[in-house]
Amino acid sequence: MVAAKLSEHPVAHLEWPQALAWRMTRQYLARRVPLDRLLEVASNLCGLHAQLTSSAELTLWARVEALPPDRVAELLWQERQLVKTWAMRGTLHFLPSAEYWDYQAVFAANDNYLKPAWLRYFGFTLEEIHSVIAGVGQALDGQILTRQELAEAVGRVTGSPALGEKLNESWGSMLKPASYQGRLCFGSSQGQNVRFARPDQWLNLPRPAAVTGPAKDKPFRDMARRFLAANAPATTEDYARWRGITPAQARTQLKSLGDEVCQVALDGEPHWLLLEDLPAIRAAEPPKVARLIPAFDQYVIGATLQVDKLTPGFFKDRVYRPQGWISAVLLVDGRMEGTWKYEQKGKKLLVEIAPFREQPEWVTSQVETEAERLAAYLGGELEVKWS
């Protein structure tokens, strides 16, 4: 792969230790914050990756002091200050509810499900998929429904039971179009059955009026700004990968920030960042901090294309595993220095840490403390194993 060229003279030359130290600070990994800043953390991380609920919870545990084990569930299902929905890259996230419509304005532009290949694969016509999306919104009016109940209700609303039944055929794929259009989010479960709700009613936040003209591009600029605020310095490809868009689209959206952004040289390659953050990045120094961060952590997801700079060797396959699985990582001053896992066996909590290379004493000491925090959070008599 040919390295990208700087389109303009870089305003600064940075080194990776500076970049990672600043990124750790921005992602609350250099220093944890009090519990009352939990929603701030979720917001500034651009939501919590929630393919696994436990990983989303541990993403906050890694950054927030004294997090109660049931706090995230309370925010989702009782207080409704977090909302579960499909978001970046079509993956499940917990987003701050107050920001839901800002995100949804961006996701509404997702059009993969309108393309002929998608329609053929799932057996829809263009008219039918639009009918299903509208039908989901009608079916969920004033109701929280399981997937089977939703399928039956959409069949009644559209007058086509066959269309409604398609919602049962492929988990996620059939529901994402309605989610992208703001017609569906997750509601509280009924036993083991997932249920869905209409976002405006579930969150008690009316859908904003449609925006036209230049203002309609604002949500895309806001999204690019959010990403850079947490993940810079970043390449165009980093942003494209994180958003799930093409590099050309990513470049257009980053450039739309105008004088808010600049390009710097990081290892001689062009990276974007917010101009206001440049002094802090230049001054950043490694915090001498070791952290245990969970599977699917935002820090690791944002660094997918930079992994060769963040590990001490050829360890990418241990972090980014087959079928989209992302390992829990031992993070040392922003570098991925190993993986870890935990298992609860009765009253015991086994934490197994597999460093990629020998670690200094200060790292092992901090990791042991991290494991003790985990045992206090999850409950259980701690056993730590280094492998």
Q: What is the pTM of this model?
A: 0.94
pLDDT per residue rounded down to tens, the chain (387 residues) = 334 454 556 788 999 999 999 999 999 999 999 999 999 999 999 999 999 999 999 999 999 999 999 999 999 999 999 999 999 999 999 999 999 999 999 999 998 899 999 999 999 999 999 999 999 999 999 999 999 999 999 999 999 999 999 998 877 788 999 999 999 999 999 999 999 999 999 999 999 988 887 888 999 999 999 999 999 999 999 999 999 999 999 999 999 999 999 999 998 899 999 999 999 999 999 999 999 999 999 999 999 999 999 999 999 999 999 988 999 999 999 999 999 999 998 899 999 999 999 999 999 999 999 999 999 999 999 999 999
Neighbours of 117 (CB within 10 A): 8
pLDDT of residue 8: 55
pLDDT of residue 3: 42
How far apart are alpha carbons 85 and 80 in whole angstroms? 13
Total number of residues shown for the chain: 387
Angle, CA 254 vertex, CA 251 and CA 257 arms, to 5°: 145
How far apart are alpha carbons 71 and 1 in whole angstroms? 45
pLDDT of residue 327: 97
Say whether 357 sits in a helix, a strand or coil. coil
pLDDT of residue 11: 82
For helices 247-255 and 236-243, what crossing angle results, to 10°? 110
114 residue type, one letter: L
Neighbours of 379 (CB within 10 A): 11
Q: Nearest-CA neighbor of 104 among 235, 202, 3, 229?
A: 202
Question: Whose structure tokens read 């890259």?
Answer: 89
The full set of domain ranges for the chain reads 109-181, 290-386
Cβ proximity of 224 and 254 under 8 Å: yes
Say whether 361 sits in a helix, a strand or coil. helix
pLDDT of residue 170: 78
pLDDT of residue 52: 93
What element of type H or E holds 316? helix 316-319
User: Residue 94 forms beta bridges with which residues?
Assistant: 48, 84
- What DSSP string runs through 238-291? HHHHHHTS-HHHHHHHHHTTGGGEEEEEETTEEEEEEGGGHHHHHH------EE
pLDDT of residue 9: 65
Considering Cα of 6, then 10, then 14, then 20, what sign does the dihedral take? negative
How far apart are alpha carbons 333 and 290 in whole angstroms? 6
pLDDT of residue 171: 78
Greatest distance between any 2 Cα atoms in the chain = 67
